[in-house]
Amino acid sequence: MKELLSVVTFVWIVSVAGHEFFSSMDQIMQLVEEEKKLLEHFSDFMDSEEENFNILKGYLQNSKLLSNSTNPEKIMNDPVAAYKLIRRLRNQWLLMEEYTQRSLNEDFKELLHSDLLKIPTQEDLDGAALGLIRLQEIYKLYPHNITYKTPLSGDEAFDVGYVAYKHEKFQLAFHWFQYSLNVLGHPDLLYYLGSSAYKYGDRLVAIDFYLQFLDHVPTNEYVKNELEEIYSSFYIDRYSDPDIYILNTESTEYEGLCRGEVDQRTYRRQRTLSCRYSTGGGNPRLILAPLKEEIEWDEPRIIRYHDIISDKEIEILKNISRPQLSRSKVYIAQDEEGAVINNRVSQSVFLEEDDTVTVRINQRIADVTGLSMEKSETLVQNYGIGGRYEPHHDFLDIENDRIATFLIYMSDVEKGGATVFPDVGVAVQPIKGSAVFWYNLHKNGTADLKTLHGGCPIIVGNKWVANKWIHEFGQEFTRPCSLSDGK
């Protein structure tokens, strides 16, 4: 049934190994320039094809004039006319065959089969749809909340719904199918609405849409059997069904913080926190240019440093990172390669620690934290559609573990994208040029479980961050070990 709703378009089979677009908003923005280049090539192709077409049209008109005879037998009595016919069929039609089987713009044909052509894959399309679906789940959004600026066509809305349906997100699928029905009015959508409602558990709505579908396709035995199952289920289970029209409001602490739902006790505690100018404990480099320090939370201690990085340094880091970005992985202890999983949707790259800008930023971090940067990692990340990183700890439970995290925000985010700490009820908003700092380990080397944190999905905006993970080795004198878990 899905095929009935599809729009027939050009199908280009291209090699796109190594490219992934939906997991990086920056990569998606580069597609705008890619499309411009492709349209320029396509325009050249059309010009060549038009020239090719005019040649063929000329052959056709000329042949019609030469063969326009009501008495071919009389014409063929002339041996010269017979010769001309044979010659025309031999030479002219061979040329016409050649022109109909080739394009004058071979460069465009080669481009379509080139590894350099960056066209999103079906995986990109499904990943982008899942990004929209994830935004719905966390922020409790209906299709009209997401599409008010950029409406979707009926086919586009159906595709999003179908992805939700395949991933058993039946309530969300139902709302996308309803959006599509309002635009297209296609009877096949009645089946998908009924099926989504049934699988979600709203039997009365399922019956309604199934009966509407049977008005259009009365011979569909599958739907008739589904209806019989629904009717019989009422005799077994008479409890009220969930309302598929009202989005499920159940959520985790992580999702609530992403939506801005702050516990009043947390709010009152935050009001007692302070701001100040910091010299990093009297560091000579900061005496004349202290940094603005804001305490975001006291336990675990989360500190924000404002204006820690300049706009120029941010652009340099972005430009260094762009050619090297690839899908972010989750690293588990003893797993050096890591794995791509759906709870982390972004692209990232580990930067060399000897780059001039990285060295300068490392020195600034060392000055304000008092920690050695000798053993550290710098990871630049860009998030994609619905880009997020679900709650996790930064420590890896390994030797020379990540003692602290210094998270630099390289962009503002218009809506969404907060860094939240579910176990303590804190949400930290991205502010370009600032950074938040916390210790992942207690002074005795044990993990601080309260540092569980996650990156919320981006509703509107393009989120760039740089993670600086600072390791234990080299901190023996700057942060001495303790027998207790003292901060």
- Do 39 and 97 lie in one domain? The reply is yes
- Do 307 and 418 lie in one domain? The reply is yes
Res 426: pLDDT: 94
pLDDT tens per residue across span 201-250: 999 999 999 999 999 999 999 999 999 999 998 877 767 889 999 998 88
Structural domain including 97 reads 1-66+78-119
| Pairing assessment for the beta strands 275-278 and 402-409 based on DSSP bridges | unpaired
Residue 334 maps to a domain: yes
Residue 480 maps to a domain: no
Res 82: pLDDT: 58
Q: Which residues pair with 436 in a beta bridge?
A: 304, 407
Of the two residues 408 and 487, the one the predictor is more confident about is 408
Residue 75 pLDDT exceeds 60: no
Work out the mean pLDDT of the chain and round it to a whole number: 84
Q: Which residues pair with 293 in a beta bridge?
A: 276, 305
Residue 250 maps to a domain: no
DSSP per-residue string spanning 132-179: HHHHHHHHT--HHHHSSSSPPPHHHHHHHHHHHHHTT-HHHHHHHHHH
- Do 283 and 420 lie in one domain? The reply is yes
Residue 394 maps to a domain: yes
Rg (CA), the chain: 32
DSSP letter for 4, please.
G
Residue 87 maps to a domain: yes
- Do 296 and 357 lie in one domain? The reply is yes
Residues of the chain with pLDDT > 70, as a percent, come to 82
Rounded to an integer, what distance in angstroms lies between the CA atom of residue 139 and that of residue 143?
12
How would you class 429 by CB atoms within 10 Å of its CB: exposed for 0-12, middle for 13-18, buried for 19 or more? Answer: middle
Number of domains in the chain: 3
- Do 61 and 166 lie in one domain? The reply is no
Residue 253 pLDDT exceeds 50: yes
- Do 272 and 394 lie in one domain? The reply is yes
CATH number at residue 229: 1.25.40.10
Q: Extract the tokens encoding 272.
A: 């007692």
pTM of the model: 0.81
Contacts of 115 (CB under 8 A, 6+ apart): 15, 16, 17
pLDDT tens per residue across span 259-300: 998 777 787 888 888 899 999 888 888 998 899 999 999 999
Over range 346-357, report the average pLDDT. 88
Res 67: pLDDT: 64
Of the two residues 97 and 303, the one the predictor is more confident about is 303
Q: Give the three-state DSSP class for 252.
A: coil
Q: Which residue, chain included where needed, has tokens 């998908």? A: 192
- Do 210 and 357 lie in one domain? The reply is no
- Do 115 and 146 lie in one domain? The reply is no
Rounded to an integer, what distance in angstroms lies between the CA atom of residue 76 and that of residue 74?
6
Residue 420 maps to a domain: yes
pLDDT tens per residue across span 110-141: 666 665 566 678 888 888 899 999 999 999 99
pLDDT tens per residue across span 49-62: 788 778 778 777 77
- Do 201 and 339 lie in one domain? The reply is no
Chain centre distance of CA 48: 37
Residues of the chain with pLDDT > 90, as a percent, come to 52
| Pairing assessment for the beta strands 326-327 and 275-278 based on DSSP bridges | unpaired
